[in-house]
Amino acid sequence: MRTCIYTLKSNETTSTTSSEDYATDWWNVVCGDCNSENPAEECDGPSFYTISAKSTFGTYLEGYSILGLYILVIGTVAGYIRGAFVQTQVRIWMNDLPRVDVIRELLDQLYLSRLHGDLVLEEEVYREIIDIYRQPSEMFKRTGIYKHWFREDEEDEKGGGGGGDDGGDGGDGGGSGGGGKRDRERERVRSKSVTGEALLQRELERWAI
């Protein structure tokens, strides 16, 4: 039975690509007599070679405590949450659209014309969509006035109670008046899509022929 001795050795070597000196450390394994010129000549066991390198990630964690890692995670999550709510006023005119029927119809016409290869119609619809998105006022005209649901309920109650002095028939007439007001507003918004409906009708007639 032979004994093996593990020793950590190092030397300072001058780099060939830099003027700085660096130290090289390695483990030295000696099997047999350490004082012999060739101590491993009498060993008939297996031979092995090892190559070791510094652990980058482990060394990085050694310099920081769990508190630093906690702050890093919390800061990252907080950054994502803040990004979801910061500068929302810039996206209001694109996200909070009361009625998107007009824009949806134009997009459907764009996909339909692209599907059938009508490049002229596709270009016309595309230009109209771009003109709408370039002008917030035009987007406002096409999509209507933003109203919260509780405001619509208040208008219904006011419209229904406006004819209370005339009895039940008057109340029904007031309620119909409140509903008629919303219908007129919807009709006004739909009337803005005359160009889009004309393009759609033209496409349907062309394919019907």
Please give the structure tokens belonging to residue 91.
Answer: 């996206």
Tell me the torsion sign for CA atoms 186, 191, 192, 194: positive
Tell me which residue of 189, 191, 182 sits closest to 143, measured CA to CA. 189
Type of residue at 92: I
The per-residue pLDDT for 209 is 46
Q: How confident is the model at residue 12 (pLDDT cuts 50, 70, 90)?
A: low
pLDDT at 189 over 60: no
- For residues 4 and 20, is the Cβ–Cβ distance under 8 A? no
- What confidence score (pLDDT) does residue 118 get? 84
Mean pLDDT along residues 176-203: 58
pLDDT at 164: 44
Tens digits of per-residue pLDDT, 79-132? 888 887 777 777 777 777 778 888 888 889 888 888 888 888 889 889 988 988
User: Which of the two residues, 78 and 92, has the higher pLDDT score?
Assistant: 78
pLDDT class for 56, splitting at 50, 70, 90? low
| Tokens at 16, concatenated | 């060939």
Query: What tokens were used for 125?
Result: 């619809």
CA distance 140 to 146: 9
- 131-154 pLDDT, tens per residue? 888 888 888 888 877 666 555 555
Average pLDDT along the chain: 68
- Is the pLDDT at 204 greater than 50? The verdict is yes
Alpha helix locations (H) across 63-193?
A: 66-85, 92-95, 101-116, 119-134, 136-143, 149-161, 168-190
For the stretch 184-207, what's the b/e string if a residue is b when 16 or more beta carbons lie within 10 angstroms of its beta carbon?
Answer: eeeeebbeebeebeebbeebeeee
Task: Please report the sign of the dihedral spanned by the C-alpha atoms of residue 51, residue 54, residue 55, residue 57.
Answer: negative
Q: What is the mean pLDDT of residues 1-26?
A: 56
Cα atoms in the 13 Å half-sphere on the side-chain side of 198 = 7
Does residue 109 contact residue 199 with C-beta atoms inside 8 Å? Answer: yes
DSSP β-ladder status, 21-31 and 4-14: antiparallel
Separation CA 187–CA 185 (nearest Å)? 5
CB 132 within 8 A of CB 142: yes
In terms of residues, how long is the chain? Answer: 209
**Average pLDDT for 157-167:** 51
* HSE toward the beta carbon, residue 164, CA cutoff 13 A: 6
Query: When comparing pLDDT for 37 and 99, which is higher?
Result: 99
